[in-house]
Amino acid sequence: MTNLNGKIALVTGASSGIGAATAVKLAEAGVKVGIAARRTEKLEDVKKQIEAKGGEALVIEMDVVDTASIEAGVKKLVDAYGSIDILVNNAGLMPLSDIDQFKVDEWNRMVDVNVKGLLNTTAAVLPQMIKQHSGHIFNMSSIAGRKVFKGLSVYQACSHGLF
């Protein structure tokens, strides 16, 4: 296994679920973690979990749909730790609705967060990784990109687009 001690990671969607668990695991491996999401109160809880286990986390209020928010978050992380070695693109939403309910606003929001958000965050982090001549980007997706589930048509399209 690669030694991750001292590496710097940015995890989007880190306020709950897989994002929070990923941030905690990375911190346990010695990674300094920038935990990013819109819900900072939830991020504070994740930070407490990380610190209780001896890790280090930086709370970053970030909306992956808002490029200014992302750029500010990336700057905050780089200013605090000097680099970004790992990006975990995990932010996403999964509203459940049948396609014939025509929830177009919901569909657009899902594409904005799940697909464009990943691209926006990658675009903000990649120049730093190029400058460093190193870095790893992990894009989280779902089995829904490969398997059909009732009520998840648009989510499945987003997930498939990330494979």
Cα–Cα distance between 114 and 119 in angstroms, integer? 9
- ∠77-18-86 over CA atoms, to 5°? 35
- Specify whether the CB–CB gap between 161 and 146 falls below 8 A: no
Active-site choice (74, 85, 117, 155): 155
Candidates 35, 42, 112, 23; CA nearest to 76 is 35
List 37's β-bridge partners, or say none. 61
155: annotated active-site residue: yes
Query: Helix and strand tally (H, E) in the chain?
Result: 6, 5
Catalytic residues: 155
